[in-house]
Structure 1
C-alpha cells in the first residue's frame, strides 16, 4: 500500500512507520532494505558504516534547538568557530543556529529517510565523531567514505542533500538521504503546515521563528542540493 506522508509524520510526531536498525537508531521501514544494501556494499570496499543520527522526533529536535538557543550546546559558524549565541537576537540568532541545526518540525530527520554517518573502520573504537567538515575532507579519517558516497550513493538510491553550501544549511558530507521517499516527503511538506505546528507547539524563540518563518523556510528548509 502506498505511503501517504501526514503532517504528524512529516514533523516528527508519528513514529509508527519507523523500524529499529540497531539498539539506538530507527529508519522508515521503506528505507531499511536500501540501507542494508548500502552497508553491505561499503563493507566490500573496507568501509564500516556507522550511524550517528537517523530518525529524530519533534521532541528530540526541540530539545536540541532549545539547548542551542540558550547556549547550552555549541553553535558554530562556517569556519567552525564557536559563537556566543546569547549575544545574538532575532533573525541573526536563528540563522546562526540553522546553519547546522534544523527547526523542530522541519528537520529531514523527522522522515526516517536521513542518516548522519561515519566510517568506524577508519578510527579507533573509542573515537567520537564530531561531524565536522575536516573529518571528511582530504587528510581526514572519513575522506574515503566521503569519496565513496560521491561516487556510489546514487546506485543505492541515496544522495547528499547538503553536498554543497547554497546559502542556507552548511555543507554536510556526513548527511545522506534516501531519495525515493525523501522526495515524496519534500513535496508534501509546506510552509502553512509548518506554521500550524509551530503556532500550537511551544519552542524556544517561537515568536521570532514565526515572524521570520517564510524566509527561513525558503533559505534553510527547501534549499537543498538536487542531483
Structure 2
C-alpha cells in the first residue's frame, strides 16, 4: 500500500478530504476501509460486534472539547478516575491534567481518520452509552472479551493500540485503535513546526501556556506512543 505524505491541513484536522463515511455515519481514512471491514468480519465470527464510539474529529470539534475542559464545563479525570478541579490549576499543570485523556487541538490522532474508539455492541443494550473508561475493558467489564481479542488479533489487520500502556503521557486507552500503515506515515510527517504553525493560525484556550510548553507537550503526549509490533507492517496490506 502506497501512502502519500499528507499536507499540514490533514495532519492538524483542518481538512476532511482524506475521509470516507461509513454506514453508521462515522468517518475514517479511505485507505483504511478494507482492513476495517475485514477486522469487523473476523470479530463477528467470534460473536463480537465492534462498534465505533468515535472516529474522525476535526480541529474545531477538538477545540470545543478542549475549551470545555479548560473552563470546567466538561469533567477532567486523573489516572484513578477521580475528577480533577481543573479550574484551580494553571500553566503546565493544567495542560497535563487535560491531556491525560484529551488531545491538544491540532495534535489529535483522530484528525488523521486512522483512529477509532471501539466497544462491543454484543454485550450491552442498544441504548448503552460507552463511557470509554478502563473499567469497561477490564476483567469484570462488558468489553473485557473485546479487549482480549484485540490484543491477539488486531495486528493481523494492520491495527495497533498507541495507548495500550501508560507511558507518562496519555493514559492507557484500551478502546483506541490505530491503523498502522497510514498512521505511521502521518506520525512521521507530523512535526512540532507544523503543530506550532497550526496553533498560531487557530488560537485555542490556554494558548499562551500551550505555546510556552509546546516542545514538552509534543514529546510527552504526541510522539510518546506504544509502538506497533513489526509484524503489523508485514501483515497489514492484505488482511485475510
Q: Name the CA distance, whole Å, in 1 between partners of 2:160 and 2:136.
A: 19
What's the CA shift for 1:45? 0.3
Quote the offset at 1:124 in angstroms.
1.2
Matched residue, 2:23: 22
| Aligned residue number for residue 73 of structure 1 | 74
Name the counterpart of 2:59: 58
Write the distance in 1 (CA, Å) between the matches of 2:3 and 2:124: 41
Q: Which residue in 1 is equivalent to 2:216?
A: 215
| Deviating more after overlay: 143-152 vs 14-23 | 14-23
What residue in structure 2 maps to residue 121 of structure 1?
Answer: 122
Unaligned 5+ runs, structure 2: 230-240
Shift of 1:125: 1.3
How far apart, in 1, do the equivalents of 2:23 and 2:58 lie?
17
Q: CA deviation at 1:4?
A: 2.2
- Between stretches 5-14 and 23-32, larger displacement belongs to 23-32
CA offsets 1:36-56 (integer angstroms, 9 cap, x no match): 111111000000000000011
**Structure 2 counterparts to residues 95-110 of structure 1, below 5 A:** 95-110=96-111
Structure 2 vs 1, CA of residues 192 and 135 (structure 1 numbering), >3 Å: closer, same or farther?
Answer: same
Alpha-carbon distance between aligned partners in 2 of 1:34 and 1:64, rounded to the nearest angstrom: 29
Secondary structure (helix, strand or coil) at the match of 1:30 reads helix
User: Any conservation in 1 of the 2:3–2:185 contact (CA below 8 Å)?
Assistant: no
TM-score scaled to structure 1, two decimals?
Answer: 0.98
Distance 1:85 1:33 in 2: 41
- 1:24 to partner: Cα distance: 2.8
Measured after TM superposition, the shift of residue 2 of structure 1 is: 4.8
Give distance in 2, aligned partners of 1:130 and 1:27: 21
Tell me the TM-score normalized by structure 2: 0.93
Give the equivalent residue in structure 2 for 1:89: 90
1:149 paired to 2:132? no
Q: Is 2:76–2:83's contact at 8 Å kept on the other side of the alignment? A: yes
Give the whole-Å Cα distance in 1 for the aligned partners of 2:119 and 2:14.
Answer: 27
Partner of 2:39: 38
How many residues are paired up? 227
- Any conservation in 1 of the 2:3–2:182 contact (CA below 8 Å)? no
Give, in angstroms, the shift of residue 126 of structure 1: 1.6
Could you say what secondary structure the match of 2:31 adopts? Answer: coil
- Deviations along 1:43-97, whole A, 9 cap, x unmatched? 0000000000001100000000000000111100000001111111000000000
CA RMSD of aligned residues (A): 0.9
- Asked if the contact 2:160–2:179 (Cα under 8 Å) also holds between the matched residues in 1, the reply is yes
Q: Distance in 2 between matches of 1:75 and 1:33?
A: 36
SS at structure 1 position matched to 2:213: helix
Tell me which moved more, 122-131 or 104-113: 122-131
SS in structure 1 opposite 2:60? helix
